[in-house]
Chains A and B, each alone.
Chain A
Amino acid sequence: MMGLDPALEWLQATSIATAIRENEILFPWIESVHVLALVMVVGTISIVDLRLIGAASRERPVARLLREVLPYTWAAFALAAVTGTLLFSSNAVNYAGNGYFRGKVVLLGVAGINMAIFHLFIGRDVARWSAGGGLPWAARAAGAVSLCLWIAVVACGRWIGFTIQH
């Protein structure tokens, strides 16, 4: 992280980052909101993934399920991103150097790419997928990949807490 070091040092010297680092209750409060948000992200995405795989909500058309669940996923993701950034800022240099943190960022990126591929290509004619019928194999694969990625994201997130240096 040589090139990024000055930026990371600047970030953790900002007044917000310093406050989170030095205040006893700020970090746990922000972390609690982060957990609530990520639980909503992973939970709502798993509803979609399990539908794509064909394991749950099979009587519900995929397009309709996406419309009713994804707004909550995005709202929760925004909250998780903001709170995650705040937590990161409090100890930016060490987080950036942590292997599990880096792994988590990469996995989030791959999950984003998987989602983009689904929306742009695999699910382009999602409106025509009928309820109950079998889905294209690519849609099932996208659901399975997404599920695995988010499980790994949660695992990395938890391992950061046990390996981060202060």
Chain B
Amino acid sequence: MHALERLSAWLDHTALSQIVKDNDWIVPTVQTIHILAIAVVFVSALMIDLRSIGLIATDQTVERVSARFLPFVWWPLVVLAATGAVMIVGEPPRSLKNPVFQLKMVLVAAAVGVTFLHHLLARAHAGAARAAAILSILLWTGIIFAGRWIAYYA
């Protein structure tokens, strides 16, 4: 944790951090964009997952539904990383050293991994793909909950 401690302290004293702290509108604006991007990622992943489970769009193949929604899972992740970075820079100790934030990052890594796996499994193994779909829904839900709890765990 020593390196994290130093990174957090260093970030806290950067000019960029000062700008975020001095301008009250930056954090709510960035959080609004963050939530909108989460909405796009979550629902796009959900549509693929629900198709895998067999609850929606059963007239289309899983591949077709994935092709429709997968781009909307990947590119907002860039927006989430960028807006998330601004929030971290604005309050490094409250995020980087926060166990809920750390949990959220683990869940994000797991969700990205499961989405990849899901994509690979879709063709080969329907049962495993269904399991991946359920896991994906649970992981993204956990990410949203953890995101809200970062603010309360200090």
Contact = CB atoms under 8 A, between A and B. Distances in A.
Contacts of A43: 39-40, 42-44, 46
A13 to B, nearest CB: 25
Contacts of B36: 42, 151, 154
Nearest to A41: B39
Contacts of A28: 148-149, 151-152
A86 to B, nearest CB: 15
A32 B148 contact: yes
Contacts of B44: 43
* Chain A interface, >50% SS class: helix
A47 interface: yes
A47 B35 contact: no
B28 A162 contact: yes
B145 interface: yes
A36 B141 contact: yes
A157 B32 CA distance: 9
B148 A46 contact: no
Given A42-B39, A43-B40, A46-B40, A36 B28 contact: no
A35 B24 CA distance: 22
B144 A32 contact: yes
A158 interface: yes
A57 B39 CA distance: 17
Nearest to A34: B148
A40 interface: yes
Given A35-B148, A68-B56, A40 B42 contact: yes
A46 B39 contact: yes
A68 B149 CA distance: 32
Contacts of A35: 35, 144, 147-148
B31 interface: yes
Given A46-B40, A68-B57, A158-B28, A39 B144 contact: yes
A44 interface: yes
Contacts of B32: 151, 154-155, 158-159
22 contacts: A28-B148, A32-B144, A32-B148, A35-B144, A36-B144, A39-B42, A39-B144, A40-B43, A40-B46, A42-B36, A42-B39, A43-B39, A43-B44, A43-B46, A46-B40, A56-B72, A60-B68, A72-B46, A151-B36, A158-B28, A159-B28, A162-B28
Interface of A: 28, 31-32, 35-36, 38-40, 42-44, 46-47, 56-57, 59-60, 68-69, 72, 151, 154-155, 158-159, 161-162
